[in-house]
Structure 1
């Protein structure tokens, strides 16, 4: 479980490194499960033989699978205390820079761009880079907006 931080500590992180997640393996089983959930059956994701004939040389993760892994990664970052619930508010930008090949490991590197405190909630904007182990170019870069609704007593 991520460490809990106060609102003042969160605000002090604006413009600074927020944290780096552990590596997560993106294997073919995970890619197939994502295809099942989304009905995205494109062969470059699920057919190793056919995908081997492409410039990728094998199957690759769906871009949206890589993006969806941000949820697991951000749970490893310090968490604001006294939060009733957190929600995704959206993205200002998302770019899929490099494919994630089946079997690769990825991790999230988070920077806290801004922290906007309003009555009852906090809106945070994070710069996120998903790195691929052993590769120079990242899998994706994004500007992610989250909202944390505060407990009544906060």
Structure 2
């Protein structure tokens, strides 16, 4: 009887450790959007931005990074796809693991003035002429998974350079 009670208690304790309460699960979508390509950031996005009166949103991340996949996931939701379609040309650039010296496509952030990437993701907003408008905050997105939907939306709206619709 005592053994059965001890076994049941242990089983309950292990079950509690093995499960995650629903409230602790991330309240965000995740997506894998960081493909490795030969032409990570051609000038096509800048040309489209110039033709359409938009800015370019360059997301510098990697599929191994939960913050990168969280940000990509938000950008795929209807609320964000509307904002992006109206105000931005969106480009995902795989930068690998720059913090360990195994970076990829690091010429892209350097081209637009972000000299160093210490983590992922980074987020650059460019004018159609290729001028970065957020170099002061571009590397601050390394906590994207813990940002709220509202905070991300507000910052992207502000960086778009025009009032929200």
The TM-score, its normalising length taken from structure 2, stands at 0.24
The TM-score, its normalising length taken from structure 1, stands at 0.25
Q: Which has the higher strand share?
A: 1
Structure scoring higher RCO (CA < 8 A, sep ≥ 6) equals 1
- Indicate the structure (1 or 2) with the bigger Cα radius of gyration: 2
Q: Which has the higher helix share?
A: 2
